[in-house]
């Protein structure tokens, strides 16, 4: 297709929107390692999972074989409220960089949760509703996931209890307030409302909290209340499945305009956005039908892929969850307090971990001041104020485009712009004031937490 015909923003029509989630695991020759019951050392069963998760979600978690999952109509209807998200051609950024590369971004920020998290939140809330539950519990770090879940629960009439990492709770009162506007109960974590929270507070008084702590509390809250289950916004196989809607739309948009991506880039905290974005493309790569250069981008201050270990580890700090085999920094790892935004999880999706380990994708890490510099440059030319998380992908896409400038290659670069930074202006202020600093954990620090990995 004539390149000049590619619009600034590609929106699929309702008829063109995908109606299935794609499950990468079905095309993986080596499947991701199963979750283990830490008590028995054996793979967790559906019944065990169903004590924590909705049963249908437990099934999705364990299903390594079904390739396509039809999306229930009620979820499709909800998707129509904010999807399709646009695939945007970054004409202005290309011009600014003077690069022959063609840069596209899949923009997931045009909904009130401000990120892609809503794609899985509505799915998980839907299955909870189907199971006649009263409500769900969860944790949130930067706040996107908690906001998304509170929106989904408000829509379906479910109770929503959110454990919010304490430092975020304090630094982001407005995030908290959005959740409250959607009717959610928000508790700073660690808290005195759970046994595991009390234990953590006793051991580490004055702690800022972490995602790992908040997960422990949310799981405890779910299993100790009748009619509640726990939901998680990333890492899990089920979440990557739901997030495949991002990739399915991107794939359809590329087909429609005959765009052949060379490089596909996503930020990676627990892997939900990256896994979702690359899904159908990775499927082609796994089946040997096409090749793509997939890049995971993570913060240098929380480098799970680039400096972590591929091993079984707990998903939480309080060690109440199953064990997952994943790239991990150790479940006690807490990123430096100077680290802004999300992407602060110690582990990584087991699916992506396996693919990374097999060499199907690569990973890079960036320090946060260079990430914010890219964010500000992007905001000024493309008009969108990006989330700090998403800006890791921007940084990498810009660098890839600049490489193309050197080599003269007209690569098609696609990156995931997962969300907006409206609730991250404290961090932008630090950057604008020149008071933002970088932090890279020392080798000793990495080794210290590695030594604490469970012996399996």
Q: Which residues bind its own copies (CB under 8 A)?
A: 7-9, 11, 13-14, 80-82, 92, 110-112, 114, 151, 154-155, 173-174, 177-178, 180-183, 376, 379-385, 420, 422-423, 425-426, 428-429, 432
Tokens of 251: 């794939």
Alpha helices in 204-347 (DSSP H): 211-223, 237-256, 272-286, 304-307
Least distance in Å: CB of 261 to its own copies? 22
Closer by beta carbon to its own copies, 11 or else 204: 11
Residue 420 phi/psi, 5° resolution? -105, 160
CA-to-CA distance for 450 and 435, rounded, in angstroms? 31
Estimate the crossing angle of helix 388-407 against helix 368-382, to 10 degrees: 80
Gap between the Cα atoms of 232 and 322, Å rounded: 13
Residue number, 195 or 425, with CB nearest to its own copies: 425
Single out the residue of 352, 286, 310, 351 nearest to residue 34, CA to CA: 351
Q: With respect to its own copies, which residue has the nearer C-beta, 26 or 154?
A: 154
Separation of CA 183 from chain center: 24
Nearer Cβ to its own copies (21/182)? 182
List, in order, residues 6 or more apart from 106 with CB less than 8 Å away: 85, 86, 87, 88, 246, 249, 250, 277, 414, 415, 416, 417
Is 182 or 251 the residue whose CB approaches its own copies more closely? 182
Write down the least CB distance from residue 382 to its own copies, Å. Answer: 7
Nearer to its own copies, 111 or 234 (CB): 111
Pairing verdict, β 68-70 and 20-22: antiparallel
Strand ranges for 132-204 from DSSP E: 135-140, 159-165, 185-189
Minimum CB–partner distance for residue 292 and its own copies (Å)? 27
Q: Closest separation between CB of residue 291 and its own copies, Å? A: 32
From residue 112, alpha-carbon distances to 52, 117, 239, 356, 423 in Å are 28, 11, 20, 32, 11
Q: How far is the CB of 385 from its own copies (least distance, A)?
A: 5
Q: How far is the CB of 78 from its own copies (least distance, A)?
A: 8
**Residue 449 near residue 333, CB atoms below 8 Å:** yes
Nearer to its own copies, 81 or 337 (CB): 81
| Residue nearer to its own copies on the CB measure, 160 or 277 | 160
Listed residue (16, 21, 15, 12) closest to 243, CA to CA:
21
Q: How far apart are CA 305 and CA 293, in angstroms?
A: 16
CB of 190 to its own copies, least distance (A): 24
* Shortest distance, position 115 Cβ to its own copies, whole Å: 13
Cβ proximity to its own copies, 217 vs 382, nearer residue: 382
| Min separation Cβ 252 and its own copies, Å | 16
Q: Identify whether the C-beta of residue 326 lies closer than 8 Å to the C-beta of residue 347.
A: yes
Cα distance between residue 201 and residue 91, in whole Å: 50
């Amino acid at each position: 297709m004539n390149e000049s015909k590619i619009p600034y923003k590609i929106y699929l029509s309702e008829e063109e929107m995908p109606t299935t989630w794609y499950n990468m695991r079905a095309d993986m020759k080596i499947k991701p390692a199963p979750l283990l019951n830490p008590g028995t050392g054996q793979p967790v069963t559906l019944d065990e999972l169903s004590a924590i998760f909705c049963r249908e979600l437990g099934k999705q978690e364990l299903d390594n074989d079904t390739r396509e999952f039809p999306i229930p109509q009620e979820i499709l209807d909800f998707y129509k409220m904010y999807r399709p998200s646009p695939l945007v051609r970054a004409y202005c950024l290309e011009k600014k960089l003077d690069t022959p590369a063609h840069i596209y971004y899949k923009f997931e920020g045009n909904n009130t949760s401000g990120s892609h998290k809503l794609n899985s939140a509505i799915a998980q809330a839907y299955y909870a509703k189907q199971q006649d539950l009263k409500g769900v519990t969860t944790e949130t770090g930067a706040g996107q996931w908690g906001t998304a879940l509170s929106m989904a629960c408000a829509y379906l009439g479910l109770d929503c209890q959110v454990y919010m990492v304490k430092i975020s709770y304090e630094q982001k009162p407005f995030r908290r307030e959005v959740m409250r506007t959607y009717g959610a109960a928000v508790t700073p974590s660690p808290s005195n409302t759970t046994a595991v929270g009390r234990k953590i507070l006793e051991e580490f008084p004055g702690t800022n909290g972490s995602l790992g702590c908040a997960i422990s509390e949310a799981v405890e809250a779910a299993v100790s209340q009748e009619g509640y289950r726990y939901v998680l916004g990333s890492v899990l196989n089920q979440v990557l499945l739901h997030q495949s809607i991002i990739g399915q739309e991107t794939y359809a948009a590329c087909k429609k305009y005959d765009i052949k991506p060379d490089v596909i880039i996503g930020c990676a905290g627990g892997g939900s956005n990256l896994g979702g974005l690359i899904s159908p493309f990775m499927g082609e790569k796994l089946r040997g039908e096409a090749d793509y250069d997939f890049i995971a981008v993570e913060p240098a201050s929380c480098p799970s892929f680039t400096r972590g270990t591929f091993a079984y580890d707990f998903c939480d700090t309080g060690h109440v969850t199953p064990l997952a085999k994943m790239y991990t920094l150790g479940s006690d790892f807490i990123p430096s307090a100077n680290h802004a935004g999300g992407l602060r999880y110690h582990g990584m999706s087991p699916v992506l971990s396996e693919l990374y380990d097999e060499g199907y994708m690569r990973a890079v890490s960036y320090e946060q001041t260079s990430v914010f510099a890219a964010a500000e440059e992007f905001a000024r030319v493309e008009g969108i104020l990006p989330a700090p998380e998403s800006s890791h992908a921007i940084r990498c896409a810009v660098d890839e485009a600049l490489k193309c400038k050197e080599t003269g290659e007209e690569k098609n670069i696609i990156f995931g712009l997962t969300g907006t930074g409206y609730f991250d202006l404290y961090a932008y202020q630090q950057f604008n004031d020149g008071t933002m600093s970088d932090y890279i954990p020392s080798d000793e620090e990495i080794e210290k937490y590695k030594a604490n990995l469970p012996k399996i």
